[in-house]
Every structure is written in structure tokens, then in C-alpha cells.
Amino acid sequence: MKKPKYDLVIKCGRVIDPALGFGSEADVFVKDAKIVKITRMSKATKKEISALPEENIIDASGKLVTPGLIDMHVHLREPGREDKETIITGCRAAAGGGFTTVCCMPNTTPAIDNQETVKFVLSRAEDADARVYVVGAITKALEGKELAEIGDLVAGGAVAISDDGSYVQNPEIMRRALEYAKMFDIPIITHAEDEFLFAGGVMNESYEGTRLGMKGRPAVGEVIAVLRDVRLCDFVGGKLHVAHVSTAGAVEAIRQAKKEGVNVTAEACPHHFTLTDDEIGKEFDPNLKVNPPIRTKKDVDAVIRCLVDGSLDCIASDHAPHSEEEKDVEFDQAPSGMIGLETTLGLVKTQLIDKGFLSWADAIRKMTVNPARILRLPGGTLEKDSVADITIIDPDKKWTVKKDNFRSKSKNSAFIGWKLSGKVFCTILGGRVVYRS
């Protein structure tokens, strides 16, 4: 029997590929885990695919077909806290949220501060439902004292370095890290919160924090941390990426630095463009505890504004699984972080697209080609011969976030019970369907 010309055909969807500037109805053809072409179906191709088994044809009528989404900021907890998440379960969650690529942060136990651990993570990810890229540590054990073997990390496969979860508090160390990383042309991802200014803080410093009597993590702590790193980057060169920007002051600092030509990029998380700190006092839900904390309406508006004007390049989930036992405690005793891989797409649609801030193309750009360029990853586009990572989105599908439906091993979402619009319909990794709704 003649081998079929295509392994997979996605027909009649609206294809959105910001990298190609493509945005119209078309069919996507996949062969050998690669994109063969995107085209309007001709009579000849119709005939060609008529021989294909039914399961190799996906009818995407009324759906959006986009490059596989990339989440450049997740915590997969392996090695060390496999009770919260493993690389396999985290990637199942990614697939269920429409992400074909995730970048995992190094604050595991032990930390990903050496080549062996990078290789361990990559080996664990071989059969996972998403591609995993590793972000290595800036400093040994993320202690902010001595540089990790950055060259070795990169040689092992790390695509960036970060001490995420902690700020590199010593400016001399950060300066040297930026300088040193230049040799490998990788970005440094900064978790920008000055530790002296937030010591012991559990929520935003604001009237809400004052009313509840909770120790604050002031916005100025993030602003100062961003300004310092931006100035260091301007001074020594290198590439700086600011993780999870949460304050009006920090987005303004980034906007200004970009205008000056500093090589800085930045991301925003769904909880920072959605939630405000007055939610906390309602039920003291520990799932609302996150670093940096959820802020005020003014900050949310500024984050959205800078997503719109492009000062914030990417949308990332900062997926941070924690066990129910650890989260089901008093608010200030709970660990910080919330899961996000499975709610990001719905929140982007509901909070940004439906409210008229971003078009689908703008939103997809921030979850595909932008992170791919920053980290120099393959993918992020449906260009001919690129890897067949594809996300098919049901753009107006209404759904309710339910605890029992999470594929992640952890359930610590602040959005349980929320009604969202927009959901992944099908996730394809290297031509293989890894999730179908």
C-alpha cells in the first residue's frame, strides 16, 4: 500500500500564526512530525486526503489553529517534590491547557544548578506530553552567593538561567552573572523582589494589607529590583528577562528601558492581570498567596496596558503546584504560588480578548513566537518544516474551572469555580495528538 502523503491534516480551522503574519481559514498538513504546508484546500488535496484514515483528519471548523503554545515559566517540582508535580504530570497539565512547550525553573530539590540535574530533567521529559526546556540556576543552590557553572548548564541543554523564587540580592553577583551569561547568549530571568523590602511579607502592601494587618510586600520592592537589574544590563550588556511583572512601577521601568534600547524582555502572569488584593480578605484563600503578590486595580490596569503596548512580551503561567496539605492552612503559613497551566488560555481569552485589550493574534504572539525568540527555541510557528506542535482552540467554549478536572497533580488554583470562555480543543506535539477535549 502506498504510504499516505500526510500523517495528519487539520482542516477548515482559522489558522493564526503571528510569526508568519498568517490569520485566515486554511488547512494544516503534517508529515513526519513536521509542518508540510498551510494552504486552502484544493480539489486535488481533497482527493489526496480522502484516503487518510478518519483519525488522521481533524475537523477544526469554527476553531483556531495556532502554533503550539509555549509557557516559559513553570515549576515542575521534579526532582524533590514529586508529591506536588512530576515532569510527566506537569506536561499532562500543559497538554490539557494547550501548551506544547514549557520551561521549568530550577528551584527544585536539589536545585538545577549543575549539568547532571539538567540532563536528569531532560531525560524524564523524553516521553512527556510536552517539550520541556530547562532554566538553570544563576547561583549555586540559588543562594545568590556563587555563580553556578553556567557554561556547563548551557552545554547540558539549559536555555536560560534564573534564581526564580529568590532575587539575586547582591548586585555584584548579578552584574557578573549578566556579564558571564553573555558568552553563551542566554537570557537571565530575574525574580525581581528586593528581599530586604519584603522580609516576612505575605501580601501586597496596600490598604487591604493594612486593614487585614498582614505584613506587606511593597510594590516598590519590585520596582527597585527591576530598575537595578535593568541598569546593570544596560551597563554590562547581556539579555535580561523579567519574570512575573506585577506592579505599575515595574512595567513602567521596563517600558522606559526598552525605549532606551536596553536588551530587556518581560512576562506577565494571568493572576497578575486578573486578580486584585481585595480578594484576600473575603475568605483568606491560601491559593491567593503568590510571589510577587496580587496587587491593586491600578497595577492590574498597568500590566494590561503594557501587554497591549508590547512592553510586556510574553504571557506565562508561573505554574506553581503545592499540595493540598501545605495549602490548607492559615493564609500566612501557606507556601506561595498557584497552578496555572490549565487556566491560562481561558483567562487570556476571558480577561484580555473578550474585554477588547488584545486580539487573538496579539495574545497568541505572546505565547508562541515571543517566548521562542527570547529563549531561541525551535517552534512557536507553523512555518514549513518546523516541528508540528499545534494547538487547536475552541475560542468561545464556555467552561467552569473545576478542582476535579485538573490534570496537574496539585489543585491549588485561585480560579476554581470561575466561568471562563475559550478552551483548548486539541493539543498536538510533534504531529501526535496529546490532548483532545
Partner 1 sequence: MKLRSRHLLGLEETTASEIKLILDTAESFREIIERPIKKVPTLRGVTVLNLFYEPSTRTRISFELAEKRLSADTINFSRALSSVTKGESLKDTVKNIEALKINMIVVRHASTGAPYFLTQCTGSNIINAGDGRHEHPTQALLDMFTIRRKYGRLEGLRVVLVGDVKHSRVIRSNIWGLKTMGASVAICGPSTLLPYEVEEFGVDVYTHLDEAMDGADVVNVMRIQLERQQAGLFPSMREYTRLFCVTKERLKLLNKNYTIMHPGPMNRGVEITSEVADSSSSVILEQVTNGQAVRMAVLYLLSGKQREE
Q: Which residues are tagged catalytic?
A: 318
HSE-CB for 404 with a 13 A CA cutoff: 0
CB of 333 to partner 1, least distance (A): 6
* Per-residue cell: 254: 521596563
Of 144-152, 224-232, 329-337, 379-387, the segment contacting partner 1 by CB under 8 A is 329-337
CB of 215 to partner 1, least distance (A): 8
Of 63-71, 241-249, 263-271, 327-335, the segment contacting partner 1 by CB under 8 A is 327-335
One DSSP character per residue, 163-201 reads: -TTS----HHHHHHHHHHHGGGT-EEEE----HHHHTT-
Amino acid type, 261: G
| Rounded Cα gap, residues 123 and 347, in angstroms | 32
- Regarding 216 and contact with partner 1 (CB under 8 A), the answer is yes
286 versus 337: smaller Cβ distance to partner 1: 286
CB of 99 to partner 1, least distance (A): 33
What percentage of the chain's residues is helix, strand, coil (to nearest 5)? 35, 25, 40
CB of 338 to partner 1, least distance (A): 17
85 versus 277: smaller Cβ distance to partner 1: 277
- Regarding 224 and contact with partner 1 (CB under 8 A), the answer is no
Q: Is the dihedral of CA 350, 351, 356, 362 positive or negative?
A: negative
332 versus 383: smaller Cβ distance to partner 1: 332
Closest CA to 14 of 350, 359, 324: 359
283 versus 396: smaller Cβ distance to partner 1: 283
CB 369 within 8 A of CB 381: yes
How far from each other are the two terminal CA atoms of the chain, in whole angstroms?
Answer: 32
- Regarding 436 and contact with partner 1 (CB under 8 A), the answer is no
CB of 350 to partner 1, least distance (A): 27
CB 101 within 8 A of CB 379: yes
Residue from 21, 50, 53, 213 in contact with partner 1 (CB under 8 A): 213
126 versus 330: smaller Cβ distance to partner 1: 330
Residue list 266-325, contact with partner 1 (CB under 8 A): 281, 283-284, 325
| Overall residue count recorded for the chain in this entry | 437
Residues that bind partner 1 (CB under 8 A): 205-207, 209-214, 216, 218, 281, 283-284, 325, 328-333
